[in-house]
């Protein structure tokens, strides 16, 4: 660890330090102010604010000042004045809820925006200004600068998968803390899969009693076992909300459902009590499309999920449904097809999701699904089924994203960009890197490839206007603990944060590499296990 720190320290020093050298994601408009005197934080520095006393931003401000200049400020309220004022001010005239402005002069350090969200981002940028400007901060000084910044996309997500390996609540909070530093605003929580059911559902306690403890070998507290109570999830939602992060829950159906089938075998097509209970790879079992109990159980589940998570969205999965091994071989599904005059099993997908999405809408939520095309192994032509217009799709399969962009534009769906080749954080970061962390085999996403990600794929504005943003995806089959998770996330999570926030014309790999190092060092200092990208040679 010492060696690694030394490497990072040397790298940081060789890149020089200034008030912009640690800004990440890079703000979209920076104006350096030259020839003016620095702002000084003194014991008399006073905070002028129109925020409520208990606002999280005020605690953040004091924490940043203590951490970076070793001095907190006096809370002065609405009318504070003096010759060293820090102003944290909501200003309705500033358009855009994530739009913030920073202006630092000799007597005033001002952060403004129309919402607390915007001010929070202003504070995150201030933290990085101070992180980079170590020569000044050593003397409690802050160099003058002007920043006027708002994100390219309003949806900037990372996805965690505690279904495969359970992740204790404290670890999820730790992950959220790091996300907040880089202005991510969504955490997609993959709560159910073959390997585990991780959310308490009061109407169906068996889902966790049986579905959350899938691997007896590792014991009740083993990494494969466990679930979150509804109270814990509500606490997590509040914790995330303070840090500007919304949690979107994901329940994966109709495939990826072995944990449900372990509880209710009768919901599947293949009625068997020898359902594989091993951890590891995905199993090809699915929920039956022609079974009213499937829809009533999921109505109960969606009702409770909708009440736990205030997010307007619920993700219902829809990926990797191996229809030919289930619905094609299932008498119930076949008779339903005959009855409805269907010629292709994929039409049953319409039937299935029409019923499920009716529950989602009934409880006031908007659906999300993974984007699947009709033939995933051949050049694809159309969607797997007719996704209704109100479904936000997430593109993921390597190579198929251009087709997904085109189809979503044509059909009127919104789109989130999580293409495997750029945004899959469980792909190794270098050929051969820690094979035990890799459950995919072939693909590699290097930091540089990840950085090259343009979520708009270079398309004309009209053809990408339906893209809401980006998502970095970290599947959990090989993610046994939080250290593996953060190792796989950073530094690539820094590159993705910039893809979601910064306009293409301001982005450059060379500049990113320099700004990355102080941030990696800061993460390490705060106990985050990151991957040091040795392959990237400092200039």
Q: Which residues are catalytic?
A: 193, 256, 320
| Residue closer to ligand TNX, measured from CB, 129 or 423 | 423
End-to-end CA distance of the chain: 23
Q: Write down the least CB distance from residue 221 to ligand TNX, Å.
A: 23
| Residue closer to ligand TNX, measured from CB, 227 or 427 | 427
- CA 268, 273, 279, 280 torsion: positive or negative? negative
302: left (phi over 0), alpha (psi -120 to 50) or beta: alpha
517 and 8 Cβ atoms separated by less than 8 Å: yes
Measure CA 206 to chain center. 29
Q: Considering only CA atoms, which of 25, 48, 47 is closest in space to residue 128? A: 25
| Residue closer to ligand TNX, measured from CB, 110 or 282 | 282
320 is a site residue for ligand TNX (CB under 6 A): yes
Q: Write down the least CB distance from residue 393 to ligand TNX, Å.
A: 11
Q: Write down the least CB distance from residue 403 to ligand TNX, Å.
A: 16
Q: Write down the least CB distance from residue 484 to ligand TNX, Å.
A: 14
- At a CB cut-off of 8 Å and minimum separation 6, what does 253 contact? 287, 298, 316, 317, 318, 356
231 and 200 Cβ atoms separated by less than 8 Å: no
Which of 149, 319, 345, 514 binds ligand TNX (CB under 6 A)? It is 319
Phi, psi (rounded to 5 degrees) for 301: -65, -50
Q: Write down the least CB distance from residue 107 to ligand TNX, Å.
A: 53
| Residue closer to ligand TNX, measured from CB, 327 or 427 | 427
Name the one residue in this structure whose structure tokens are 């009440």. 307
Q: What length is written for the chain?
A: 539
Report 511-530 residues binding ligand TNX (CB under 6 A): none
422 is a site residue for ligand TNX (CB under 6 A): no
200 is a site residue for ligand TNX (CB under 6 A): no
Rounded to whole angstroms, how far apart are CA atoms 443 and 447? 13
Q: Write down the least CB distance from residue 98 to ligand TNX, Å.
A: 28
Q: Write down the least CB distance from residue 481 to ligand TNX, Å.
A: 17
x/- binding map, residues 69-98, to ligand TNX, per CB under 6 A?
A: ------------------------------
- What is the CB-side half-sphere exposure of residue 362 using CA atoms within 13 A? 14
370 is a site residue for ligand TNX (CB under 6 A): yes
439 is a site residue for ligand TNX (CB under 6 A): yes
Name the one residue in this structure whose structure tokens are 């005033």. 108
201, burial (CB in 10 Å: exposed 0-12, middle 13-18, buried 19+): buried
| Residue closer to ligand TNX, measured from CB, 427 or 512 | 427
CA distances from 189 to 160, 167, 252, 373, 476 (A): 5, 11, 11, 24, 11
501 is a site residue for ligand TNX (CB under 6 A): no
Which of 155, 427, 475, 517 binds ligand TNX (CB under 6 A)? It is 475
396 is a site residue for ligand TNX (CB under 6 A): yes
> How many binding residues for ligand TNX (CB under 6 A)?
10
Give the residue at shortest CB distance from ligand TNX.
Answer: 475
Contact positions vs ligand TNX (CB under 6 A): 256, 282, 319-320, 370, 396, 439-440, 475, 477
């Amino acid at each position: 660890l010492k060696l690694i720190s030394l490497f990072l320290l040397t790298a940081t020093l060789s890149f020089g330090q200034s008030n912009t050298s640690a800004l990440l994601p890079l703000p979209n408009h920076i104006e350096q102010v030259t020839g003016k005197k620095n702002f000084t934080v003194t014991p008399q520095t006073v905070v002028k604010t129109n925020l409520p006393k208990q606002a999280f931003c005020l605690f953040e401000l004091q924490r940043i000042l203590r951490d970076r200049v070793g001095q907190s400020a006096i809370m002065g309220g609405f009318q504070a004045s003096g010759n060293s004022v820090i102003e944290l001010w909501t200003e309705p005239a500033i358009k855009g809820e994530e739009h913030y402005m920073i202006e630092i002069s000799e007597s005033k350090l001002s952060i403004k925006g129309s919402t607390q969200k915007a001010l929070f981002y202003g504070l995150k940028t201030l933290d990085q200004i101070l992180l980079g400007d170590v020569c000044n901060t050593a003397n409690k000084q802050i160099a003058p600068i002007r920043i006027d910044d708002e994100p390219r996309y309003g949806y900037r997500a990372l996805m965690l998968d505690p279904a495969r390996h359970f992740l204790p609540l404290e670890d999820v909070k730790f992950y959220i803390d790091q996300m907040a530093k880089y202005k991510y605003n969504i955490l997609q929580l993959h709560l159910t899969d073959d390997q585990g059911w991780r959310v308490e559902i009061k109407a169906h306690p068996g889902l966790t009693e049986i579905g959350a403890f899938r691997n007896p070998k590792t014991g009740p507290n083993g990494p494969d076992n466990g679930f979150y109570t509804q109270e814990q999830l509500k606490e997590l939602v509040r914790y995330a909300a303070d840090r500007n992060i919304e949690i979107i829950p994901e329940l994966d159906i109709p495939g990826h459902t072995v944990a449900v089938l372990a509880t209710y075998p009768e919901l599947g097509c293949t009625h068997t009590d020898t359902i594989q209970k091993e951890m590891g790879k995905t199993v090809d079992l699915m929920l039956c499309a022609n079974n009213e109990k499937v829809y009533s159980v999921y109505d109960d589940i969606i009702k409770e999920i909708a009440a736990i998570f205030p997010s307007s969205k619920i993700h219902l999965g829809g990926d990797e449904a191996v229809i030919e091994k289930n619905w094609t071989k299932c008498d119930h599904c076949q008779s339903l097809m005959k009855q409805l005059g269907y010629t292709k099993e994929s039409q049953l997908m319409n039937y299935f999701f029409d019923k499920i999405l009716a529950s989602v809408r009934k409880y006031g939520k908007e659906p999300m699904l993974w984007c699947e095309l009709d033939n995933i192994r051949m050049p694809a032509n159309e969607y797997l089924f007719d996704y209704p217009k109100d479904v936000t799709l997430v593109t993921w399969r390597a190579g198929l994203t251009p087709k997904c962009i085109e189809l979503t534009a044509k059909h009127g769906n919104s789109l989130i960009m999580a293409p495997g080749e750029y945004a899959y954080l469980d792909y190794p970061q270098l050929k051969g890197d820690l094979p035990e962390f890799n459950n995919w085999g072939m693909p590699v996403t290097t930091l540089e490839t990840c950085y090259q990600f343009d979520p708009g794929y270079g398309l004309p504005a009209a053809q990408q206007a339906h893209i809401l943003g980006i998502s970095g995806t970290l599947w959990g089959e090989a993610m046994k603990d939080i250290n593996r998770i953060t190792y796989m996330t950073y530094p690539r999570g820094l590159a993705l944060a910039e893809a979601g926030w910064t306009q293409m014309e301001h982005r450059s790999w060379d500049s990113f590499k320099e700004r990355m190092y102080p941030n990696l060092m800061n993460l390490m200092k705060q106990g985050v296990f990151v991957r040091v990208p040795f392959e990237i040679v400092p200039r």
